[in-house]
Amino acid sequence: MVKVAGIAVLVWVLSGHAHAQGRGGEAPATPKGGAPIDLTGYWVSLITEDWRYRMLTPPKGDYVSVPLNDAGKKAADAWDPARDKASGNQCKAYGAAGIMRLPGRLHITWQDDNTVKLETDAGTQTRIFSFTAPAGRAGDWQGVSTASWDRPRSPMGFVFGLGQHYPPVGGSLKVVTTKMKPGYLRKNGVPYSADAVLTEYFDRFDVPGGESLLVVSSELNDPTYLASPFWTSTHFKKQADAAGWNPTACAAE
Amino acid sequence: MRVVKSLYWAGLLTGAALFAQPPQAPAPAIDLSGYWTGAMHEDAMERGNGPEIADYAGFPINEAARLWGLSYNPSRVTLRHHQCDGYVMPYQVRAIGNSRSWEERDPHTQQLIAIHWWHQTFEGHRVIWMDGRPHPPAWAPHTWMGFSTGKFVGNALVVYTTHLKQGWLRRNGLPESDQATVTDFFVRHGDHITYTSVVSDPVYLAEPMVRTTDFYRQPSDPTSWLFACDDGEQILDRKPDEVPNFLFGQQPFVTEFSKRNNVPLVGALGGPHTMYPEFEAKLKGATEAEGLAETKPSAEGPAQTSRAVDPVPHDGEIHVWRLRNNVYLLLGDGANVTLQVGDEGAFVVDSGTGQLADKIIAAIKRLTDRPIQYIANTSARADHTGGNVKLRAAGLDPSVIGSFFSLQFADAGVGATIVAQQNVANRMTAAKTPSAGWPSDTFLEERRRMFHNNDNVQMFFEPNAVTDGDSIVQFQRADVIVAGDIFNTTQYPFIDVKSGGSVEGEIKALNDILNRTVYQHEGEGGTIVVPGHGYVCDEHEVVEYRDMVAIIRDRVQALIKGGATLEQVKAARVTIDYDTRYGATTGPWTTNDFVEAVYTSLKQPVKH
C-alpha cells in the first residue's frame, strides 16, 4: 500500500509539479541568461498616436486625456518654459515618466548580466534597470528602477496529467521606477510628482515576415497630480543599426 | 478500501502520465476572458468626440489615401446606405465603450476553438479562430471584423486577419481598403491588456500602421452591450445619384485643424515621414504652401495600378462557393457564374468565357442531377456568354417539351432556354457569335419574372449602364442579387459607350441594386451581391462602388463645365484616389479607358 501511494505521489510530482519549476527544471544563472526576449538594439519611435502632443509642444493648458486632479491642472496651467530653462530644468519632459513618449530612438544594451541600460537620443538620457538591486539616484530625472522578468504564470496547485502543463514561454521586462525628480508627462508642463510610481512592461513582437516592435505599456500612479492611473502604450520599430541616432540636448519647449 | 483508493489514483495518474499527448502548440499564455474597457488616455479626442477634418498626422498614408480623405464630405454618412456602417476591426478596437471576451471550447474535447471579443460600439463581434482552420478563399465575403486566426506565441496572443471590408483608418475620411490585413498582438499584465495592431494596406498605406490600445479590466458586467441603428431619410429631395464630396483642392476645411492647433499643414496631412522623429525638425520651417501642394493630385508621377489581390485563382479549375440556400457561385472562367439548383432544374446566370464550360457543367452535375433548364445572361459580353453554347447543349427545358411550342419548333425544349434582355440578343447577333448561344427567350420590359425552384426569380433591365442590355438577376427567397458587370470588385466599371453604356446609367443601375438590398446588421450581411467579377459582396461594397463612380463623374463633369478636353481630363488624374484599388495601365480596360468612357458619355448623354 505504501508503495502504491508512493508511485502516486511520484507521478503527481512528475506530471505537474515538476513542470512548474521552469524550463529544464533549473533556474537560469543570470537575468541576461534567462531573458525570455531580446530587447537589445536600436529602436525608433513611431509617432502614430497623440501626435500633436508628442511631435509638437502643445499649448499651455491642453492636457486632454491625462487624468489630472485639481492640483495637477493647477500645476499644468502654471507651466513656464522660460522659467524651467532659466532654472536648469529644461529636462523636465525627459524624465522616466515622459521620455518614452518623445520622438526619438532608444539604444538598449546589457550593461552587465544583471542590468539593462536604455539610452535615449532625445535629451541624451540613460535609464538603468537592475534585476538585483534598485538602480539610479533618488531625485534624478530617471529616478530609481528595479527590473524583473514578468513571465506568464504556470497553473497553480494540482494539475492533472503529463504533457498538458508545460509552463508558458515568453515574458516581458517589468520595470518599476520611483523617486523621480518631478517632471512633465508632456512638454507643455503636464506634471508628475516625486511621489509618482511608474510601472512599465516592455514587450517585443515580431511581425511575421518583417519587422520587430517594442511596445512599452506604462501605468503611472501619482497621488499628488493624478486622479486615477495614467495608462499609455508606446511603440518602437527595430532598426538594424544606429542609423538616425542623434543625441540632442533637452529642450524646455 | 484505502488500498483500493490508492490503486485507483495511482492508476489514474500513471495513465495520465503515459497517455498524455505532447502539446501540439504552446500553452495558452494569456486568458482574455472577462469585461474590459479601453483606456482613453491616447488619441482621446479622436476616439471620443471624433477626429477633425484633415487631421492625418502620423498616419503612414499614401497620396491616394490623403486625396480620398480630402474628397470626403462628412455629409456622406447621411446617405441611407452609410448610416449604419460599422467600423472595421482595427478601428473599432479604438472606439469608446466596453468589451467582453470569452472562450469557445469544444464540449467534448475541451479544446479551444475560438476566442470571442465583443465590442459595444457597433456591436462588433470578433471571432478569433484558435483551432488551426485556414482562412477562406479570396472570393469569400468581407466583413467589418474580417476573418481572424490566432495562436499563442511567447506571452502573447498573435492574430492574423484578412477579409476586412473597406472602412476607416480614421473616421474623418481616411480610408482603409478591403485589401488590408492585420497582425495584432494581445498581452496581458495583470488587469491590463495591451493590444497592438499592425495594419498593412497595399492600397492606402505606404508603410504598416502600428497602434497600441490599452484596456483595463472591469470587475463586473457593464451591462450595456447594444448599439441600435436603423437607417432612414436624412435629407429629403436629394437626388439619388448625389454623393456628397469635395472636388480636389476644394476641401473648405483643409486648414482648420492645422490652424486651430498650430500644426503645420504638412504634418496634419500625414504620410510615413510624419511618424518618424526626424519630422520634428522639419516641422519648424514648414510653410502652408507646402501643405496645400499635397491637397491636389501631384502633377506628375507614375500611373498607379491596382494593388488588390485577384480573387480568381486562374488555376484552370471551377471553384464552388455556396451563397445561400440553393444558390451557388461558380468561379474561375472569366465572369462569375451563379447557379440555382432545385427540383425543376438548374438556373444558371451567365456562362463564363466558355473555356472551362465543360468543368462548369461538371460542377453543376455534382450539385444537382437535374438538367440545366435556364441560362440568364446579364449582358452580351463574351466573358458572360461564352459558355452559352455548351451549357445550353448540356441542358434541356422540360417546361417547353410537349407544350404548344413543340408544335411550332422541332427543337423546342432541346437544350436550356437562354433568357436575356432583347438587346443582348441583338448584340450577339450583330457580333455573329454562334447562334446556338443566342438568347431564345428575350424581354423588353423592365422586369422578367418567374417562380423557379421555390424562389421568386426576377431579372431587372438596367438600360444604358455598362451596355444597352444589362440586367440584374434577383433570387428573392435566397436573397441573392447577381449584378453582372454593373458591379465588380476588380476594376473600374467597364462602361462600353459604343454598346450603349453610360456613366449615368451605371450609377442608376448601382442605385437600383441598392434599392433591393437589405443589410443584416450594422450595414453588413443580408442580401448577397454577386459581382460580375470578384469576390462575394453585400450592399456595402456596392455603395462604396456607387460612391466612387458618382464622385469621379462629378470631377469629370466639373472639368467639362470648365471647358476641359478629354486629354486635360485624363491629365487631371481624376481617379487618383481609387487607382491603387482599381487602376490599370494595360489590359482590356485601363484607367484611361474608363475616364474616356465617363467623359464621352457625359458629353454625349444617352436619352433614356
The C-alpha cell that represents B170 in the structure block? 480614421
- pLDDT (average), residues B195-200: 98
**Cβ neighbours of A86 (radius 10 Å):** 11
Q: Residue A178, SS3?
A: strand
Give the gap in angstroms from C-alpha B579 to the nearest C-alpha of chain A: 26
Per-residue pLDDT, A24: 44
Determine the Cα angle at B337 with ends B333 and B340, to 5°: 145
Q: Which of chain B's residues have a Cβ under 8 Å away from the Cβ of A67? A: 41
Per-residue pLDDT, B541: 98
Q: Which of chain B's residues have a Cβ under 8 Å away from the Cβ of A22? A: none
Determine the Cα angle at A188 with ends A183 and A194, to 5°: 15
Question: In tens digits, what is the pLDDT along chain A, a chain of 253 residues?
Answer: 445 444 444 444 444 444 444 444 566 789 999 999 999 999 999 999 999 999 999 999 999 999 999 999 999 999 999 999 999 999 999 999 999 999 999 999 999 999 999 999 999 999 999 999 999 999 999 999 999 999 987 767 666 665 555 666 889 999 999 999 999 999 999 999 999 999 999 999 999 888 999 999 999 999 999 999 999 999 999 999 999 999 999 999 8
Nearest C-alpha neighbor of B173 from the set B81, B269, B264, B240? B269
- pLDDT at residue B208 above 60? yes
Per-residue pLDDT, B573: 97
Q: pLDDT band for position B27 (50/70/90)?
A: low
Calpha distance A176→A201 (Å, rounded): 9
Q: Which of chain B's residues have a Cβ under 8 Å away from the Cβ of A65? A: 40-45
Q: What pLDDT, in 10s, does the model give residues B60-103?
A: 999 999 999 999 999 999 999 999 999 999 999 999 999 999 99
Quick check: B275 and A36 CB within 8 A? no
Helix (H) or strand (E) holding B385: helix B382-385
Dihedral pair phi/psi, residue B66, rounded to 5°: -60, -45
At A215, the amino acid letter reads V
The C-alpha cell that represents A132 in the structure block? 538585483
The C-alpha cell that represents B165 in the structure block? 471590408
Q: Which long-range contacts (CB under 8 A, 24 or more apart) does B122-128 make?
A: B122/B86, B122/B87, B122/B92, B122/B95, B122/B227, B122/B229, B122/B522, B123/B86, B123/B225, B123/B226, B123/B227, B123/B521, B123/B522, B124/B86, B124/B87, B124/B89, B124/B92, B126/B89, B128/B157, B128/B159
Query: Alpha-carbon dihedral of residues B510, B515, B519, B524, nearest 10 degrees?
Result: 20
Q: What pLDDT, in 10s, does the model give residues B126-180?
A: 999 999 999 999 999 999 999 999 999 999 999 999 999 999 999 999 999 999 9
pTM for the model stands at: 0.93
Per-residue pLDDT, A167: 64
Quick check: A48 and B60 CB within 8 A? yes
Q: Are strands B417-421 and B441-443 parallel, antiparallel or unpaired?
A: parallel
B139 contacts B329 by C-beta, under 8 angstroms: yes
Q: Which of chain B's residues have a Cβ under 8 Å away from the Cβ of A171? A: 154-155
Residues in chain B: 608
Give the gap in angstroms from C-alpha A157 to the nearest C-alpha of chain B: 15
3-state SS string over B120-135? CHHHEEEEEECCCCCC
3-state SS string over B49-90? CCCCCCCCCCCCECHHHHHHHHHECHHHHHCHHHCCCCCCHH
Calpha distance B209→B59 (Å, rounded): 7
Per-residue pLDDT, A209: 80
Give the gap in angstroms from C-alpha A26 to the nearest C-alpha of chain B: 19
Could you tell me the CA-to-CA distances from B559 to A90, B574, B606 in Å, in that order?
55, 10, 20
3-state SS string over A35-63? CCCCCCEEEEECCCCCHHHHCCCCCCCCC
B463 contacts B331 by C-beta, under 8 angstroms: no
Residues 6 or more apart from A52 whose CB is under 8 A from it? A58, B57, B261, B263
Cβ-Cβ pairs closer than 8 A, A with B, add up to: 202
Q: Which of chain A's residues have a Cβ under 8 Å away from the Cβ of B13? A: 8, 11-12, 15
A31 contacts A129 by C-beta, under 8 angstroms: no
Mutation target vs B (from A66, A124, A173, A231; most B CBs, 10 A cutoff): A231
Quick check: A211 and B208 CB within 8 A? yes
The C-alpha cell that represents B9 in the structure block? 489514483
The C-alpha cell that represents A163 in the structure block? 504533457
Nearest chain A residue (CA) to B22: A163
Mutation target vs A (from B192, B210, B282; most A CBs, 10 A cutoff): B210
A48, A65, A244 ranked by CB distance to B278: nearest = A244
Determine the longest span between alpha carbons in chain A, in angstroms.
83
What is the per-residue DSSP string for B458-495? Answer: EEEEETTSSSSSEEEEEETTTTEEEEETTS-SSSS---
Q: Which of chain A's residues have a Cβ under 8 Å away from the Cβ of B43? A: 49-50, 65
Nearest chain B residue (CA) to A158: B13
- pLDDT at residue B16 above 90? no
Per-residue pLDDT, B26: 55
Helices B503-514 and B539-561 pack at an angle, to 10 degrees, of 150
Helix (H) or strand (E) holding B151: strand B147-153
Q: pLDDT band for position B247 (50/70/90)?
A: very high
Give the gap in angstroms from C-alpha A200 to the nearest C-alpha of chain B: 10
Determine the Cα angle at B593 with ends B591 and B595, to 5°: 70
Calpha distance B151→B164 (Å, rounded): 20
Nearest chain A residue (CA) to B31: A152
The C-alpha cell that represents B259 in the structure block? 490652424
Q: pLDDT band for position B2 (50/70/90)?
A: very low
ipTM of the complex: 0.92
